Amino acid sequence: MDIRTNIPLKQYLTMQIGGTARFVTEVHSAEDVRTIVTNSRKEGVPFYILGGGSNVIAPDGRYNGIVIRNCIMGYEEIAEDKDTVTVKLGAGEVWDDFVKRVTRENLIGVEALSAIPGTCGAAPVQNIGAYGQEISDTLTELEAFDTQTDEIVTLSNDDCKFRYRNSIFRTEEQGRYIILTVTMRLYKGSPMPPFYSVLENHLKEKNITEYTATNIREAVIEIRANRLPNPAEKPNAGSFFKNSMVDKWLVDDLLQKYPDMPHFDMGGRIYKVPTGWLIEQCGLKGKLLHGIRVNPANALVLINESARGYSDLAQAREAISKAVSEKFHIHIEQEPLELA
């Protein structure tokens, strides 16, 4: 197993900010995972699992451990009936390559998740979602290496405790499981309206009335291209802030002052308020803060234009969070994980 030393982290992170890692290696199998975890534990070296680096940011200093890049590949159709096809994927597979493949086969269930960067193994961690779909809608189970028991375990959809942009993998069990494979149940047929409002409006503008997995994918890619800059051209970590989940009493109070505030009933007297709208109302859309640009097309996205390091990003994050808190009394949450 090739282990490299003193590697700049920013080459693996789409935000292109971060210090160095003491060690970096790749794993290509479950046995590789077992070996590196066992050896790391024996040497007292911490480890961090990294997928595509599109939802992770890193501090400027040195990570005094080993960054393990998950490169476990594989694609297998393991079951089929008259309505569904079940696919098992290696955690290192590129998510959008998977979406492209299954939409070409006229399978539905993930077409609205097109053009999301990252790997299939990273997708369940934050329960990726877009335009009305989430990975939790189609993921049936996943295999993972349990670092507490050194066993390979199978976790069901329910075991993952999926919720909005969240799961056990970034909360109560963060760092415990190394995802090896994910299993997805996809559906035969055509996508059916009503679609998510942004997507619905785009389809109407383009006079698209015949709905297929492919044309929904193409529409999503076009929408995203206008709202989310390519990280290869403009370094970013996608949506930097989660949309805000707000109690009904506060929503009711805010609507008295901001009657046009978008809000969506999530049940249980909780409403989703678009954080991008909140940031825009603070006059920050398009602003440059400490070398970090608030994306002019989508204020949820922060672009690294000239930041000198993590400290600049942290100052920009704090300025945005403070402005939203002071104006709306809403605490906004960062979406990317931090390598630590």
Render the burial of 35-50: b for 16+ CB within 10 Å, e for the rest: ebbeebeeeeeebbbb
CATH 3.90.78.10 residue window(s) in the chain: 236-338
Q: What secondary structure letter does DSSP report for 118?
A: S
**Banded pLDDT at 340 (limits 50, 70, 90):** confident
CATH 3.30.43.10 fits 3-70, yes or no: yes
Residue that has been written with the tokens 């700049």 in this structure: 8
* Alpha-carbon span 42 to 159, nearest angstrom: 30
Could you tell me the sign of the dihedral formed by the alpha carbons of 279, 281, 283, 286, in that order?
Answer: positive
Whose CA is closest to 142, among 110, 109, 176, 181? 181
Exposure letters 184-207 (e unless 16+ CB within 10 A, then b):
bbbeeeebeeebeeebeebbeeee
pLDDT band at 1, cuts 50/70/90? confident
**Mean pLDDT in residue range 274-299:** 97
- For the annotated catalytic residues, the residue numbers are 165, 239, 335
Q: How confident is the model at residue 179 (pLDDT cuts 50, 70, 90)?
A: very high
- Give CATH for domain 236-338: 3.90.78.10
Cα–Cα nearest to 69, from 116, 113, 118, 114: 118
Q: What is the 3-state secondary structure (H, E, C) of 61-89?
A: CEEEEEEEEECCCCEEEEEECCCEEEEEE
Please give the distance of CA 254 from its chain centroid, rounded to a whole number: 29
Report how far residue 186's alpha carbon sits from residue 86's, in angstroms, rounded to the nearest whole number: 6
CATH topology (fold) of 75-227: 3.30.465
For 13-72, what is each residue's pLDDT tens digit?
999 999 999 999 999 999 999 999 999 999 999 999 999 999 999 999 999 999 999 999
3-class DSSP assignment, residue 142: strand
Structure tokens at 311: 């400290």
Output the pTM of the full model.
0.92
CATH 3.30.465.10 spans which residues of the chain? 75-227
User: Which segments of the chain belong to CATH 3.30.43.10?
Assistant: 3-70
